[in-house]
């Protein structure tokens, strides 16, 4: 096990103090002083899950059973909660919100939503997306992972192109400072793919880690019997799982089966991780040319993989 450095520990504690101050948790109560944080968590779990029992709340929230019981008693006193005896065990009861309880939850849930919206309001859309990505990464890194979820590939379905465009725009702005010209290019590629899609010769794959999309790649018809590899992307939270290698291999394998002479692609010299994947798959660098695009001075590269006849 790697020991954490004192500077990392200090920075995390500093962030905890900053965040709790930002969202107002240091006050005695939340949401206008009406409900405690613990009450809100219990109310949320009952409202958003079926067949909840007190033991489930103890296990999910990590709270003391006596504390949970006192909160539930308060909910009953307010007319928010009703109990239904379990048909399997008469000693246990299912917890259900009454109409009054659902109304109370809807009010505080809306207020919580509005407070987060207010917190995000000063940020630009790209800053909000960047914050979202960082928060997801924090959650992924700190969540217990007894087993590593398997990466699986699937072909595209309705709605995927929107995700591809959004993630390319956000990730390349964050990591390479590409401007909106790049996102527009990705949108044009996706629109052309949908309009002219030939399932016998073209594919778009989505990589999923668990239930989350974490990568994509596209293969389309190119000139002179060649295929074109396009729009390779792997989320930063999924790197190290072999996602990029799987996507490139799937793309090349399909191109062989579809009868192409080979695969060509256009990339940039500063996309180092992608270039390593292409080289490992057998692609060769054919041409390099400097250009100014996407708000940056870049060196465009053409890579090609020829299949043996």
**pLDDT surpassing 90 at residue 34:** no
- Is residue 168 located within the same domain as residue 57? no
Residue 86, phi then psi, degrees to nearest 5: -70, 135
CATH of the domain at 112: 1.10.10.10
Amino acid 143: pLDDT: 75
Q: Please report whether residue 132 resides in a domain.
A: no
| Nearby residues of 208 by Cβ (< 8 Å), 6 or more positions away | 151, 152, 153, 154, 214
**pLDDT surpassing 90 at residue 153:** yes
HSE-up of residue 144 (Cα within 13 Å, Cβ side)? 1
**Quick one: pLDDT band at residue 1, thresholds 50, 70, 90?**
very low
Residue 64, phi then psi, degrees to nearest 5: -65, 140
Q: Which of 116-125, 193-202, 220-229, 291-300 has the lowest mean pLDDT?
A: 116-125
**pLDDT surpassing 70 at residue 32:** no
- Is residue 281 located within the same domain as residue 160? yes
| Cα–Cα distance for residue pair 175/56, rounded to 1 Å | 42
Count of the separate structural domains present in the chain: 2
- Is residue 241 located within the same domain as residue 297? yes
HSE-up of residue 114 (Cα within 13 Å, Cβ side)? 8
**Quick one: pLDDT band at residue 147, thresholds 50, 70, 90?**
low
Q: Please report whether residue 251 resides in a domain.
A: yes
- Is residue 99 located within the same domain as residue 161? no
Global pTM exceeds 0.85: no
- For the residues 178-185, what does the mean pLDDT come to? 96
Are 46 and 93 in contact by the 8 Å Cβ rule? The answer is no
**pLDDT surpassing 90 at residue 279:** yes
Amino acid 62: pLDDT: 80
Highest mean pLDDT out of 28-42, 90-104, 196-210: 196-210
> What's the whole-number average pLDDT of the chain?
87
- Is residue 156 located within the same domain as residue 301? yes
**pLDDT surpassing 60 at residue 33:** no
CATH of the domain at 196: 3.40.630.30
**pLDDT surpassing 90 at residue 303:** yes
| Cα–Cα distance for residue pair 15/227, rounded to 1 Å | 48
Residue 281, phi then psi, degrees to nearest 5: -85, -5
- For the residues 202-220, what does the mean pLDDT come to? 93
Amino acid 146: pLDDT: 53
Highest mean pLDDT out of 39-48, 61-70, 147-156, 202-211: 202-211
- Is residue 159 located within the same domain as residue 288? yes
- For the residues 198-204, what does the mean pLDDT come to? 95
Find the domain containing 183 and state its range. Answer: 151-306
Rg (CA), the chain: 26
**pLDDT surpassing 90 at residue 221:** yes
Amino acid 220: pLDDT: 97
Between 215 and 240, whose confidence is greater? 215
**Quick one: pLDDT band at residue 163, thresholds 50, 70, 90?**
very high
**Quick one: pLDDT band at residue 28, thresholds 50, 70, 90?**
very low
Highest mean pLDDT out of 84-98, 109-123, 228-242, 253-267: 253-267
- Residue pointed to by tokens 């990591």: 175
**pLDDT surpassing 60 at residue 95:** yes
Q: Please report whether residue 146 resides in a domain.
A: no
**Quick one: pLDDT band at residue 114, thresholds 50, 70, 90?**
confident
**pLDDT surpassing 50 at residue 212:** yes
């Amino acid at each position: 096990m790697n020991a954490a450095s004192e500077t990392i520990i200090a920075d995390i504690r500093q962030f905890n103090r900053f965040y709790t101050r930002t969202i107002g948790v240091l006050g005695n109560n939340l949401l206008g002083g009406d409900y405690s944080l613990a009450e809100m968590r219990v109310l949320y779990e009952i409202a958003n899950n079926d067949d909840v029992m007190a033991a489930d709340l103890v296990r999910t929230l990590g709270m003391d059973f006596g504390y949970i019981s006192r909160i539930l008693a308060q909910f009953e006193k307010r007319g928010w909660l009703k109990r239904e005896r379990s048909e399997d065990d008469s000693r246990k009861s299912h917890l259900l919100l009454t109409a009054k309880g659902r109304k109370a939850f809807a009010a505080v849930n809306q207020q919580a939503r509005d407070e987060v919206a207010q917190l995000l309001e000063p940020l630009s859309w790209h800053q909000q997306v960047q914050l979202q990505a960082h928060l997801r990464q924090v959650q992924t890194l700190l969540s217990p992972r007894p087993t590593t979820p398997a990466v699986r590939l699937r072909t595209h379905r309705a709605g995927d192109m929107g995700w591809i465009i959004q993630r390319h725009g956000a990730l390349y702005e964050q990591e390479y400072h590409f401007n909106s010209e790049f996102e527009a290019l990705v949108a044009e590629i996706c629109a052309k793919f949908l309009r002219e899609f030939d399932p016998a010769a073209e594919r778009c794959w989505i990589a999923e880690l668990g239930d989350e999309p974490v990568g994509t790649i596209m293969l389309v018809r190119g000139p002179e019997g060649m295929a074109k590899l396009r729009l390779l992307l792997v989320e930063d939270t999924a790197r190290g799982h072999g996602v990029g290698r799987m996507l490139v291999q799937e793309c090349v394998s399909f191109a062989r089966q579809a009868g192409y002479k080979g695969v060509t692609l256009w990339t940039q010299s500063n996309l180092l991780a992608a270039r390593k994947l292409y080289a490992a798959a057998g692609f060769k660098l054919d041409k390099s040319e400097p250009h100014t695009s996407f708000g940056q001075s870049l060196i465009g590269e053409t890579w090609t993989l020829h299949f043996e006849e």
